[in-house]
Structure 1
Amino acid sequence: MWKRILEYQITETTLQTKNANHIHGFLKAHGYSSAVIRHLKETGNGICRNGTWAHIHDPLMPGDMLTIQLTEDTSSQNILPVPLPLSIVYEDEDLLVIDKPANMPIHPSQGNYDNTLANACAWYFSQKNEPFTYRCINRLDRDTTGLLILARHMYSASLLSAMVARREIHREYRAVVEGLLPECGTVDAPIGRCEGSTIEREVNVENGEPARTHFKRLAHTTVPGTGKEYSLAALSLETGRTHQIRVHMKHIGHPLPGDFLYNPDYSVIGRQALHSYRLTFRHPITGTKMDFRSPLPDDMVLCHEFREAVSHQ
C-alpha cells in the first residue's frame, strides 16, 4: 500500500476562509473534490483531527491538527508494465514531470497495447513495488516530444486538472515550420473537426471552437540539398485545442514538416517537428514555483543557427 499524508495546522485565519469552520468546508476550500472526499471517508484514518478519526462534518478549532491520509493499494488495470525508455525530469510524492520521446503514445489504444508512456510508468513503479494509477494531466501527440505532467495521486490530479482549466499551467513549445515565419504574431482562428474524420482538424469559422496561438521566430535557415526554407518557432497557447499548433501553422502557410496529417513531407524530419519545451506552474500542494525546460531534440536541430538560437534562451 502507498500512502500520502498531509497535515494542516488550523489557525484563526483558516477558520475565516469561506465555509472552512468544519472539516468538509476546509477540504472543499483546499480543492478536495467530492470523489477524493468520498475516498477519504471510506479509508481507515483517512481523516483525523488531533490524532483521532473524525467525521466529515466535525467542527474545526484554532490549534487543531487535521491529518489527511490518501492511500492507494491497486494499480491501473489493463496497463501492462513494459521496460521502455522513461526520462523523469522531476518526481515527488505528488507529481512527476516526464520528458517524452517521439513515437510514444500517451495512452494504450487499439494497436498500441505495450508501447505507450503508460506502460513505461507501470514498469517504473512495479520495480519500486509501489501501486500506481496512471493520471496524465497534459497530453501530447504520439510524435510530439517533450514535457508533460503526471499526477501521483487522486488529490494532486484534482488540483492539477483544475489548474489546467484555469490556465495556470503554462506551456511553451518549439516547432520547425516551413518558410520564413514572420518575426512574431498571433493566430486567432477557431478549430473544428474535418468533415468525415474523427482525427483531422481544420480552421472552421462557423463551427469551430475558439483557438489562439502566439508565435515568435527564433531562427531561419535554408537546408542544403533541399533548397527549402525553414524557421524555428517559439509558440504558446491561450487554448488547448486538438492539433492546435499544427492546424494554425498550416493555416498561415507555415506547416510543420513531417506531419503525417497536415504536411507529410519527410525530407528533413521523420515526424512532426513539435516539442513541448517548457512547463511553468505552481506546485499544487506546496505552492512552490516549478519551471522545467527540455532541450530541443537532435532531429529538430536542422542547422547551426537553430542550435545557437536554443543555446541563448
Structure 2
Amino acid sequence: MREQATIPPSLAGQRFDRALAQLFQDYSRSQLKGWIEAGQARLDGAVCRPRDSVRAGQEVVLERPAAENVIQPQALPLDVLHEDADLLIVNKPAGLVVHPGAGNPDQTLENALLHYFPEVASVPRHGLVHRLDKDTSGLLVVARSDRAHARLTEAMQAREISREYRALVVGAMPAGGTVEAAIARHPVDRKRMAVKEGGREAVTHYRVLERFPYHSLLRVMLETGRTHQIRVHLAHIRYPIVGDPVYGRRLSVPRGASEVLAQALRAFRRQALHAAELRLIHPVSGEEMHFQAELPDDFRSLLGHLRDDAAARAAGGRI
C-alpha cells in the first residue's frame, strides 16, 4: 500500500525517522525505522538512512508491506450520512476505533468500511482522510477513489476543510479565544501528546455557546489537525474536557450539585467531544458541501442535567 506526504516547513532539519513519525502517526517509530532501512520509505525517490535530515518540500513515499495490510471486512453498524461515487461522510459513534492497532486488532471503522465499500481496499489508508479518537464521536470524511483521496488530502493540508466540534469543559469559561501552541509527543509517555516548543504548529479557536456554574459548552474550530489537538489545547489553558481520561482532571463533583447531576458526571466515562459540523468542496464535482451530526444521546443527556442543575441553583438563589 502506497502512501505519500510532503515535508512541511515545521519539520525541516528533522531526522528522517522523526519526520515520518510525525507524518504517519498511525504507525510506531520502530515500524517506520524498519521500513526506512528496508528502502520502503523514500525521500524524493531516494533511499535514505533514519538519521538523514529532511528539507521542506521533499516528497515522502511510504510503501507498506502487503503482509501488514491485511484487514478483514466486518459487518459492523455504520451510520453513513452521505454517499456518492467518490465520497462518504460517516457519523462515528463514541467507542469505535478508526484503525486497527495494538489492543484493537479488529472491530474498527476500517473493518466496516472494507465490508460495505470494498473498493476502498485499493485507496490509500482505505479512504480515510483524517481520524477521530476512539471516544470522540462525529463526522469523518472517507474517499472512495484515488483521485478523491489525493484531492481531499491536499485540501486538508491546505486547511480548506472546515471542522467544527462541540466540547464540554470543566470550568465556567469567561469568553472564547484562540490557542496557538505547538504540539509534539510527550517526552516521557509516548502515548500522549503535549504542548512543546519545537513541536508542530497547532491552532485551535473556541467560542462559548453555553455557560454553567462549573462547566462550559464550547464551539471549537480546528485550523490545524494534530493528534489529540483539542484535548491537549483545552487542558493547556486549564479547561480540560469533561471525562477525558488522559488529559482531564480527576473527577470533582461541583459543590451543591444535585445528586442526579453528580451521578451523571460519574457515569460519563469518555471525553465530551463531538465532531459536529464539516464544510468542504467536493473533490470531483467542486460542489460546496455542509454536513452536521447531532450530539449523541449521552452527551445531550449530560447537558440536560447541567441545565436542570443551573436552573435549580438560580431559582434557589444559590448563583
CA gap of 1:252–1:83, structure 2 versus 1, over 3 A, is: same
Deviation at 1:221, TM superposition (A): 2.4
Q: Which amino acid aligns with 1:241?
A: R
Deviation at 1:123, TM superposition (A): 2.0
Instruction: State which structure, 1 or 2, has the greater radius of gyration over its C-alpha atoms.
Output: 1
Q: In the alignment, is the contact (CA less than 8 A) between 1:104 and 1:117 conserved in 2?
A: yes
Q: Which amino acid aligns with 1:242?
A: T
- Gaps of at least 5 residues in structure 1 are 1-75, 223-228, 309-313
The residue number in structure 1 matching 2:203 is 212
Task: Tell whether 2:233 aligns with 1:238.
Answer: no
Deviation at 1:132, TM superposition (A): 4.0
- Gaps of at least 5 residues in structure 2 are 1-67, 252-264, 309-319
* Cα separation, 2, equivalents of 1:303 and 1:280: 25
CA gap of 1:83–1:306, structure 2 versus 1, over 3 A, is: farther
The match for 1:109 among 84, 92, 101 is 101
The match for 2:158 among 143, 158, 166 is 166
Deviation at 1:210, TM superposition (A): 2.0
Q: Which amino acid aligns with 2:287?
A: T
Task: Tell whether 2:239 aligns with 1:259.
Answer: no
What is the TM-score when the length of structure 1 is the normalising length?
0.67
Counterparts of 1:217-228 in structure 2 under 5 Å?
217-222=208-213
Q: In the alignment, is the contact (CA less than 8 A) between 1:258 and 1:268 conserved in 2?
A: no
The residue number in structure 2 matching 1:195 is 187
* Cα separation, 1, equivalents of 2:224 and 2:174: 21
Deviation at 1:270, TM superposition (A): 1.2
Q: In the alignment, is the contact (CA less than 8 A) between 2:245 and 2:270 conserved in 1?
A: yes
Percent identity over the alignment is 43
The residue number in structure 1 matching 2:74 is 82
Q: In the alignment, is the contact (CA less than 8 A) between 2:120 and 2:144 conserved in 1?
A: no
Counterparts of 1:44-193 in structure 2 under 5 Å?
77-125=69-117, 132-133=121-122, 134-193=126-185
The residue number in structure 2 matching 1:280 is 279
* Cα separation, 1, equivalents of 2:227 and 2:120: 31
How many residues in Structure 1 have an aligned counterpart in Structure 2? 223
SS for the counterpart of 2:232 is helix
Deviation at 1:111, TM superposition (A): 2.1
Q: In the alignment, is the contact (CA less than 8 A) between 2:113 and 2:120 conserved in 1?
A: no
Show CA shifts across 1:22-52 (max 9, x none): xxxxxxxxxxxxxxxxxxxxxxxxxxxxxxx
Show CA shifts across 1:112-143 (max 9, x none): 122100111122236xxx67442101211111
Q: Which amino acid aligns with 2:281?
A: R
Q: In the alignment, is the contact (CA less than 8 A) between 2:182 and 2:201 conserved in 1?
A: yes
What is the TM-score when the length of structure 2 is the normalising length?
0.66
The residue number in structure 1 matching 2:34 is none
Show CA shifts across 1:30-76 (max 9, x none): xxxxxxxxxxxxxxxxxxxxxxxxxxxxxxxxxxxxxxxxxxxxxx9
Report the structure, 1 or 2, having the larger helix content.
Answer: 2
